[in-house]
């Protein structure tokens, strides 16, 4: 259950909470990264020593064979640590994404159908699928690399200090600059990435906007102009973004510059020192071994930071995605979490006492309503659109919790729902019927479909119950879909059926059929609550309530 | 492999058009790489030479070392590397963005040929949701899959040739090892990860559909208490996707390890081989060090290759989808035109329409005749086939049987220009663009003056509302016109229609979301504007029938069948 504390989530804190769940793996990954880096240190120092022995001390290669094989061992060990580094962070990122997705899906359930219908389902799906996947780079690459960047340069500094303290001092002097540059690069890269992110999404939106309006463009014969417009918009964006990039890339050039200069400075210092041109400090004790080793260590000192800056866009992308996800997580939940108390009377199906419904943004919409519906009753609720009949139905269906008052219903009794646009799942007819009864047998399904007047269609379907319907399969008309929805009601055996405008936008034949089906359901002893403005539906109801000026009144015929 | 190449071919040809940019960009990356290797190699050479000279001097032997040339070289390469990197990033980014414009232009061009069935068909949301991502994938192709392998290959050649001057044996070793490594990091990675990276895209799509289901069926899932059941479906799909991703990730990690091991062992081998040559005094110490350090730095060109190439399957999936969009059934050479300046009649001859993958027809044997300059109304519920009929009449869809004729010409055979000129339609779902009110209006008539804009706004009773807006006509309507109410959006679209001078007008729900006083005003404006034009109103509610002026025909559409209704 989502608690109130989630309301104050920020993108950063959400990412941190997610990381905490996989702390061990992420730390392990960083540790492996540091160990792999330390193997690199061993390898370059070893190479320097080997070369020193060969060139200066004229050792024969054969006598150095053990060292050669030791180096090969180090290379293999480094690869092993690299493997650990990559697979651990991969696993962490997979698990984190799984958890984040589950959290988001839980939240969507808690927000309930009332909130969901006000949203674009495609963009919600992007949040759950693409945006959560965007977190991959952050946890798999950036997060461990940040830890590595804190440790590995220190290790390299220590080794360099042992070899030649002047070089270490030079690196150390640049060390305070590193946080500075990191901030600089960070700010530069972050601003760049943020700006890019915004600009790119705006540009994509422009493109999609024109694609969506293709019908209109075709109707007015403006497709070619729009096509050129698309090119100019992208090109204009290119021109603008090049202007900012000129500056933004400077920060990464600074890092590049630093690592190149480090090599150059160390090379000059070591070279002159070995020639005896430098009189002070440790330079008199410089050898080819220590000189070569510090030369090779200097770029390694900056390498973690360079890698980090390459992964900076992962962070920006993750923050951008987190922001939109957190926006959803911070929405107040509408669906009530607690269970219902059974009604006071044995014979009633539903009891409402002074129940009100309020939306966070709009305040109280309906109520207080006091209403008792007996088992087996057919109740019609009418009213002009916007009067609150759909809200009342949503309240009865638990899509929204009462803001005040009480709602009693049989504990755990499931109920059937039917509205004017029955939902078709991407899948087979069976999947669509399982929606109402996951355990139903094929025979039961066929029987329910036949009762719902879908029998003739079923024989036409190429693969019977296994035929795919919807976007990827056979398209159903509105009337056919409504029959399928009625088959769901039959299949579910739910004692209570809630119907929201079930006959709206149907062809005459299906409308007639739905009417008969409603009567049949009532004869089975099911309780029906129907929001409708259809006179024929109202006529068959036992009781009729109407919303008049915000009040629910019973209409006595 | 050939099949894959064929899918990529049209897009690679698009790149070829920018080949100078492409080659120059690759050259800059190569220069960066070479400057880095030169910096490292020269530094190693210089240090070793200094060490040897220093030892000779300390022993009192006559020795000299020119420190200025290598010193200058080191400084030059350090600077060259920085500058080249900066210029390269800037230049290649520019290329990528230029390509993006090219790619979007081309894809948009494909879409302009779509008919209504493809634009609004059931599968439309599928391709639309992936469109920009697919184009971006292709855009990244240049920087991730074309430049790096080329640079790596050129780097191998250059490095081997350079080392071969002193150490031909070592050079052969380097060329062979790095050559094989190049094949492993590109071709092998691509083949090895192909099906899994392809599957990754498929998995994402499947997961997306399940989530859309959960959102759209939330009411049913909650009421039937089957939300848990559906979540297990999502969970099992996700598990499957993740185990695929895990396999792919591990393959990438393994290839990265291979690159690391091969390049590391190669460095050791280079030192070993060179030391053998050195011990025979066939090569100088500084050269040995230089070769070793160049070998050490060479792996930089290979690091990013496996991770990029292992995802070739994903790029292939993107390209496949984009190619599907390009697959437009060659539009029949529609070139017929309509006569200017005279009324046009509309005739539906036994029109039947059946969409692919549906049971039963959307329209069956619709037959009517509307004389030029007359007005008709066709009522029907949503889903009865009104939009399909409108599309057929406007020549935006091909009937399964029968023909729609306008002015005696089958409307399907009319050229697009002619249709745009003579026909106008207010669609059920109006498209407003994320631009100003004025720009949205001028889509109908780019040369319309402000006076004309105000005039049509007055016709739909929106003039006073626009007048009181701080920015007036320049007010942005927002994405999909979200800054306007639904009714305002429809009225703006209607005003836009009135800027043109069509002979045939189809209005789908012109009064939806409009209060009755405004509806009366609009009806009066329409009455005036529709004089001498042939018009069909499509209406959902019969109640707005009495609003319509000058109606002489009334048909009703139910489940794709048209029937005549008496005029009240």
Which CATH number characterizes residue B481's domain? Answer: 3.40.50.300
Tell which A residues from 16 to 75 touch B, by Cβ distance under 8 Å: 43-44, 47, 50-51, 54-56, 60-61, 64, 68, 71-72, 74-75
Residue ending a domain, among B265, B296, B326, is B326
Per-residue pLDDT tens over the stretch A129-184: 888 999 999 999 999 999 999 899 999 999 999 999 999 998 888 766 766 766 66
| Residue A384 in contact with partner chain B when CB distance is under 8 A | no
Q: A389: part of which helix (H) or strand (E)? A: helix A389-396
The residue length of chain B stands at: 568
Out of A249, A267, A397, closest to residue B47 by CB: A267
Give the residue from chain A lying closest to B204, CA to CA. Answer: A129
The total number of structural domains in chain B stands at: 2
Architecture of domain A348-555: 3-Layer(aba) Sandwich (3.40)
The pLDDT value given to residue A338: 63
* Inter-chain touch B220–A122, beta carbons under 8 Å: no
Confirm whether B50 is domain-assigned. yes
Q: Count how many pairs of residues, chain A against chain B, have C-beta atoms within 8 Å.
A: 426
Chain B hits for A44, Cβ within 8 Å: 296
Other Cβ atoms less than 10 A from the Cβ of B561: the count is: 16
CB-facing half-sphere around the CA of A228: CA atoms within 13 A? 3
- DSSP track, A478-534: HHHHHHHHHHHHHHHT-SEEEEESTTTT--HHHHHHHHHHHHHHHHTT-EEEEE---
Statement to judge: residues B365 and B227 lie in one domain: no
Give the residue from chain A lying closest to B243, CA to CA. Answer: A94
Statement to judge: residues B428 and B540 lie in one domain: yes
DSSP A369: E
Statement to judge: residues B304 and B392 lie in one domain: no
Confirm whether B335 is domain-assigned. no
Out of A105, A207, A419, closest to residue B132 by CB: A207
Confirm whether B331 is domain-assigned. no
Statement to judge: residues B8 and B69 lie in one domain: yes
Out of A219, A230, A264, closest to residue B39 by CB: A264
* Inter-chain touch B433–A210, beta carbons under 8 Å: yes
| Residue A476 in contact with partner chain B when CB distance is under 8 A | yes
Chain A hits for B261, Cβ within 8 Å: 75-76, 79
Per-residue pLDDT tens over the stretch A360-373: 777 788 878 898 99
Question: Which whole number is the average pLDDT over A341-348?
Answer: 79
Out of A272, A296, A492, closest to residue B224 by CB: A492
Other Cβ atoms less than 10 A from the Cβ of A555: the count is: 13
Statement to judge: residues B227 and B294 lie in one domain: yes
Confirm whether B337 is domain-assigned. no
* Inter-chain touch A242–B39, beta carbons under 8 Å: no
| Residue A214 in contact with partner chain B when CB distance is under 8 A | yes
Residue of A200, A267, A449, A527 for testing the chain B interface, max B β-carbons within 10 Å:
A267
Statement to judge: residues B321 and B355 lie in one domain: no
Confirm whether B336 is domain-assigned. no
Chain B hits for A291, Cβ within 8 Å: 47, 51
Q: How buried is B447 (Cβ within 10 angstroms: 0-12 exposed, 13-18 middle, 19+ buried)?
A: exposed
- Whole-angstrom distance, CA of residue A230 vs CA of residue A243: 20
Per-residue pLDDT tens over the stretch A383-440: 877 778 888 998 988 888 888 888 888 766 778 998 877 888 888 999 999 999 999 9
The pLDDT value given to residue A3: 44
Chain B hits for A105, Cβ within 8 Å: 211, 214, 231, 234
Residue A377 near residue A543 (C-beta atoms within 8 A): yes
Statement to judge: residues B320 and B389 lie in one domain: no
Residue A447, Ramachandran bin (φ over 0: left; ψ between -120 and 50: alpha; else beta): alpha
Mean pLDDT for chain A overall:
86
Out of B296, B358, B443, closest to residue A220 by CB: B443
Q: How close A119 comes to chain B (CA, Å)?
A: 9
Per-residue pLDDT tens over the stretch A505-555: 778 888 888 888 888 888 988 999 999 888 888 888 999 999 887 788 888
Confirm whether B558 is domain-assigned. yes
Q: A348: part of which helix (H) or strand (E)? A: strand A348-359
* Residues facing residue B352 across a β-bridge: B401
| Residue A101 in contact with partner chain B when CB distance is under 8 A | yes
Confirm whether B332 is domain-assigned. no
Residue B28 near residue B120 (C-beta atoms within 8 A): no
* Inter-chain touch B54–A207, beta carbons under 8 Å: no
| Residue % of chain A over a pLDDT of 70 | 93
Tell which A residues from 326 to 345 touch B, by Cβ distance under 8 Å: 335
Statement to judge: residues B430 and B399 lie in one domain: yes
As for the ipTM of the complex, it is: 0.88
Statement to judge: residues B288 and B370 lie in one domain: no
Most confident residue range from A209-218, A275-284, B366-375: B366-375
- What residue ranges do the domains of chain A occupy? 4-329, 348-555
Instruction: Check pLDDT > 80 for residue A199.
Output: no
- Whole-angstrom distance, CA of residue B280 vs CA of residue A442: 85
* Inter-chain touch B94–A242, beta carbons under 8 Å: yes
Statement to judge: residues B350 and B322 lie in one domain: no
Instruction: For domain A4-329, give the CATH number.
Output: 1.20.1560.10
The CATH number assigned to the domain holding B21 equals: 1.20.1560.10
Confirm whether B401 is domain-assigned. yes
Closest CA to A304 of A541, A543, A142: A142
Q: How close B254 comes to chain A (CA, Å)?
A: 7
Q: Which two tokens stand for residue B175?
A: 């060329």
Residue of B211, B479, B495 for testing the chain A interface, max A β-carbons within 10 Å:
B211
* CA dihedral angle for residue A408, residue A414, residue A415, residue A417, rounded to 10 degrees: 120
* Inter-chain touch B104–A460, beta carbons under 8 Å: no
Statement to judge: residues B157 and B123 lie in one domain: yes
Angle A158-A162-A167 (CA atoms, 0-180°, nearest 5)? 80
Q: How close A266 comes to chain B (CA, Å)?
A: 9
Chain A hits for B104, Cβ within 8 Å: 207, 230-231, 234
* Low pLDDT (below 70) residues in chain B: 1, 122-123, 328-333, 541-545, 568
Indicate if A348-555 has the same CATH topology as A4-329. Answer: no
User: What is the domain range of residue B387?
Assistant: 346-564
Statement to judge: residues B367 and B447 lie in one domain: yes
Mapped onto helix, strand or coil, the DSSP state of residue B270 is helix
């Amino acid at each position: 259950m989502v608690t109130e504390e989630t309301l104050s989530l920020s993108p950063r804190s959400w990412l941190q909470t997610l990381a905490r769940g996989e702390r061990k793996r992420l730390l392990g990954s960083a540790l492996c990264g540091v160990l792999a880096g330390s193997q690199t240190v061993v390898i370059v120092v070893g190479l320097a020593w080997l070369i020193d022995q060969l060139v200066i001390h004229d050792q024969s290669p054969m006598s150095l064979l053990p060292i050669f094989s030791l180096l090969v061992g180090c290379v293999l060990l480094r690869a092993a640590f690299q493997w650990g580094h990559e697979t651990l962070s991969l696993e962490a990122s997979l698990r984190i994404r799984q958890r984040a997705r589950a959290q988001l899906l839980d939240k969507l359930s808690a927000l309930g159908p009332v909130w969901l219908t006000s949203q674009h389902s495609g963009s919600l799906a992007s949040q759950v699928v693409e945006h959560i996947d965007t977190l991959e780079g952050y946890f798999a690459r950036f997060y461990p690399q940040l830890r590595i960047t804190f440790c590995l340069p220190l290790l390299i500094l220590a080794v360099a200090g042992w070899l030649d303290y002047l070089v270490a001092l030079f690196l150390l002097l640049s060390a305070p600059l590193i946080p500075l540059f990191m901030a600089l690069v960070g700010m530069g890269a972050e601003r760049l990435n943020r700006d890019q992110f915004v600009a790119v999404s705006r540009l994509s939106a422009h493109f999609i906007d024109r694609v969506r309006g293709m019908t209109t463009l075709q109707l007015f014969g403006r497709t070619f102009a729009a096509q050129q417009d698309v090119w100019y918009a992208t090109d204009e964006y290119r021109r603008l973004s090049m202007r900012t990039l000129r500056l933004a890339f400077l920060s990464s050039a600074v890092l590049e510059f630093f690592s190149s200069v480090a090599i150059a400075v160390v090379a000059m210092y070591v070279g002159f020192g070995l020639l005896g041109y430098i009189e002070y400090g440790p330079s008199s004790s410089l050898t080819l071994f220590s000189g070569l080793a510090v030369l090779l260590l200097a770029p390694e000192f900056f390498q973690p930071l360079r890698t980090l800056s390459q992964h900076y866009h992962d962070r920006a992308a993750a923050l951008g995605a987190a922001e939109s996800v957190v926006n959803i997580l911070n929405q107040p939940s509408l669906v009530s979490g607690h269970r219902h108390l059974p009604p006071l009377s044995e014979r009633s199906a539903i009891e409402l006492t002074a129940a009100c419904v309020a939306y966070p943004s709009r305040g109280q919409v309906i109520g207080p309503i006091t209403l008792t519906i007996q088992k087996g009753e057919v109740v019609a609720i009418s009213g002009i659109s916007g009067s609150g009949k759909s809200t009342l139905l949503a309240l009865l269906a638990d899509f929204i919790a009462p803001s005040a008052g009480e709602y009693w219903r049989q504990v755990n009794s499931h109920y059937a729902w039917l509205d004017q646009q029955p939902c078709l799942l991407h899948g087979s007819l069976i999947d669509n019927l399982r929606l109402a009864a996951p355990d139903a047998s094929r025979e039961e399904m066929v029987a329910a479909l036949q009762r719902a007047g879908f029998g003739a269609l079923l024989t036409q379907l190429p693969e019977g119950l296994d035929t795919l319907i919807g976007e990827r399969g056979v398209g159903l008309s509105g009337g056919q879909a409504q029959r399928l929805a009625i088959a769901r009601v039959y299949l579910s055996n739910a004692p209570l059926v809630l119907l929201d405008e079930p006959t709206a936008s149907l062809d005459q034949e299906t409308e007639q059929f739905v009417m008969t089906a409603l009567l049949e359901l009532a004869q089975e002893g099911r309780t029906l609550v129907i929001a409708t403005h259809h006179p024929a539906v109202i006529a068959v109801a036992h009781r009729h309530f109407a919303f008049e000026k915000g009040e629910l009144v019973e209409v006595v015929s | 492999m050939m099949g894959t190449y064929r899918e990529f071919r049209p897009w690679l040809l698009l790149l070829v058009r920018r080949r100078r940019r492409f080659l120059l960009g690759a050259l800059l990356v190569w220069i960066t790489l070479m400057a880095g290797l030169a910096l490292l190699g020269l530094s190693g050479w210089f240090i070793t030479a200094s060490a040897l000279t220093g030892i000779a001097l300390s022993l009192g032997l006559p020795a000299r070392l020119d420190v200025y040339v290598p010193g200058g070289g080191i400084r030059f390469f350090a600077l060259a590397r920085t500058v080249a990197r900066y210029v390269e990033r800037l230049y290649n980014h520019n290329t990528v963005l230029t390509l993006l414009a090219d790619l979007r232009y081309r894809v948009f061009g494909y879409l302009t040929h779509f008919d209504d069935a493809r634009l609004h068909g059931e599968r439309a949301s599928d391709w639309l949701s992936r469109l920009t991502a697919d184009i971006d994938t292709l855009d990244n192709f240049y920087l991730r899959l074309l430049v790096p392998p080329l640079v790596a290959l050129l780097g191998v050649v250059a490095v081997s040739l350079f080392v071969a001057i002193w150490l031909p044996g070592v050079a052969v070793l380097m060329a062979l090892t790095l050559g094989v490594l190049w094949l492993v990091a590109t071709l092998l990675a691509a083949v090895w990860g192909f099906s899994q990276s392809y599957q990754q895209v498929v998995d994402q799509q499947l997961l997306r559909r399940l989530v859309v289901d959960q959102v759209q069926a939330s009411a049913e899932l909650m009421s039937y208490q089957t939300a848990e059941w559906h979540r297990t479906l999502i969970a099992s799909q996700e598990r499957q996707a993740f185990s695929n991703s895990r396999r792919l990730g591990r393959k990438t990690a393994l290839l990265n390890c291979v690159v690391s091991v091969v390049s590391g062992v190669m460095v050791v081998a280079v030192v070993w081989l060179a030391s053998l040559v050195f011990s025979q005094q066939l090569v100088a110490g500084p050269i040995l060090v230089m070769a070793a350090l160049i070998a050490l730095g060479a792996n930089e060109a290979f690091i990013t290759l496996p991770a990029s190439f292992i995802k070739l399957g994903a790029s292939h999936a993107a390209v496949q989808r984009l190619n599907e969009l390009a697959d437009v059934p060659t539009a029949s050479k529609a070139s017929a035109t309509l006569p200017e300046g005279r009324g046009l009649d509309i005739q539906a001859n036994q029109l039947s329409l059946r969409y692919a993958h549906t049971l039963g027809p959307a329209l069956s044997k619709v037959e009517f005749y509307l004389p030029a300059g007359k007005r008709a109304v066709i009522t029907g519920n949503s889903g009865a086939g009104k939009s399909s009929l409108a599309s057929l009449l406007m020549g935006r869809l091909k009937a399964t049987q029968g023909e729609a004729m306008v002015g005696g010409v089958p409307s399907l055979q009319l050229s697009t220009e002619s249709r745009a000129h003579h026909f106008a339609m207010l669609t059920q779902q109006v498209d407003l663009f994320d631009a100003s009110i004025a720009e949205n209006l001028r889509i109908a008539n780019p040369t319309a003056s402000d006076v004309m804009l105000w005039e049509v706004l007055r016709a739909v009773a929106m003039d006073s509302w626009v007048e009181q807006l701080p920015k007036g006509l320049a007010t942005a309507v927002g994405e999909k016109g979200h800054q306007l109410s639904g009714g305002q959006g429809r009225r703006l679209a209607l005003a836009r229609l009135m800027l043109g001078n069509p002979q045939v007008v189809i209005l789908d729900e012109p009064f939806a979301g409009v209060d009755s006083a405004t509806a009366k005003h609009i009806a009066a404006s329409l009455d005036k504007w529709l004089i001498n034009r042939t018009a069909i109103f499509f209406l959902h509610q019969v109640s707005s029938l009495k609003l319509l002026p000058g109606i002489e025909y009334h048909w009703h559409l139910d489940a794709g069948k048209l029937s005549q209704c008496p005029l009240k």
